Amino acid sequence: MMRMNISTHLQRINKAFGSGTPRGYWRLYISYACNYCFNRPLLVGLTRKQRYRTEKKLLYTAITAGYDSLNEIPQPLPNWDFICYTDNPSLSSDTWQIRLLKNELDLDPVRLSRQVKINNHLVDGGYDISVYIDANFRIRGDLDTFVAHVLPPGERFVMLLHPFHSSLREEVELCVRVGKDEESLLRSQYRHYVEEQGFDDPYPHVAGSMILRRAGHDDIRRLMQTWFDQLLRWSRRDQMAFNYALSRQRVFPHYAPYWMLRRYFKKMDHGRG
């Protein structure tokens, strides 16, 4: 299943951004396979760890309505700040800075957390690079190596390829099956995009567990605002709206395979530290 999913992602990348030919697809496939087999964290740490080390970096997360516990930072790192945004005034930490969220738009807890997750310009002023991570991930690798691994030179933001499915239709069916939001709203959003707006879902599907962005770019800010506007209008499930926002703003990320995230972060159960 995973192999088929990566194949579908690469086909979409080749069609949307590459040559669209079989040769282009196999070039991407071989590059991905070589990256998986040989571009390991140890090698990246030895050869590229210093690439972004002197830049000022922010790792941040958001916890609302007590949905997750906060995993402590294993060790402090130079040129990194760690900030948790929350609606819980009692939340404390030995290793994270705690910032209380202001709910000026009177958002529900999920959209309140998504507000800072998506709109990085609200939190990363004064930084060169910000990394959003879901709170149920615990650091288990070197963050400087992680950034060097997922962010190629010249790229400005990174999204993860979804590990299990490849299209908006599959996202809708998953959300309906596990109750991520109201079925009628999810299906209305899908119909609006596809039937009313003519959105043909051409891009690889992403996972929103991690977002890496270089700060201070107006075009990325407009993309993020367009994305968040869709959450205000439609489902709170952010992965439903990302590719539609891309089609409106056409500011494209570098796509990182999901296994890179799992090399550096351990996924925990929600609600547990």
SS3 per residue for 59-125: EEEEECCCCCCCCCCCCCCCCEEEEEEECCCCCCCCCCEEEECCCCCCCCHHHHHHHHHHCHHHCCC
What's the CA angle centered on 217, arms 211 and 222, to 5 degrees? 80
Q: Tell whether 163 is covered by a domain.
A: no
- pLDDT at site 109: 97
Q: Is residue 157 part of a domain?
A: no
> Which of 148, 160, 163 is closest to 39 using CA atoms?
148
Determine, yes or no, domain membership for 197: no
Look at the pTM and tell me if it is higher than 0.85: yes
Beta strand segments in 107-221, E: 129-133, 137-139, 157-161, 206-214
Any domain includes 79: no
In a domain, 8, yes or no: yes
The predicted pLDDT at position 10 comes to 94
* pLDDT digits (tens), the chain, 273 positions: 344 589 999 999 999 999 999 999 999 999 999 988 888 888 898 899 999 999 999 999 999 998 888 999 998 899 999 999 999 999 999 999 999 999 999 999 999 999 999 999 999 999 999 999 999 999 999 999 999 999 999 999 999 999 988 999 999 999 999 999 999 999 999 999 999 999 999 999 999 999 999 999 999 999 999 999 999 999 999 999 999 999 999 999 999 999 999 999 999 887 644
pLDDT, residue 4, reads 52
How many CA atoms within 13 Å lie on the side-chain side of 141?
A: 22
Which pair of structure tokens corresponds to residue 58?
A: 């922010």
In this prediction, residue 3 carries a pLDDT of 46
| 9, part of any domain | yes
Task: Tell me which residue range forms the domain holding 29.
Answer: 1-38
* 68 belongs to a structural domain: no
Q: Which residues contact 43 (CB under 8 A, 6 or more apart)?
A: none
Q: What pLDDT is stored for residue 271 in this prediction?
A: 64
Beta-carbon count within 10 A of 256 CB: 22
In a domain, 34, yes or no: yes
Query: How many domains, the chain?
Result: 1
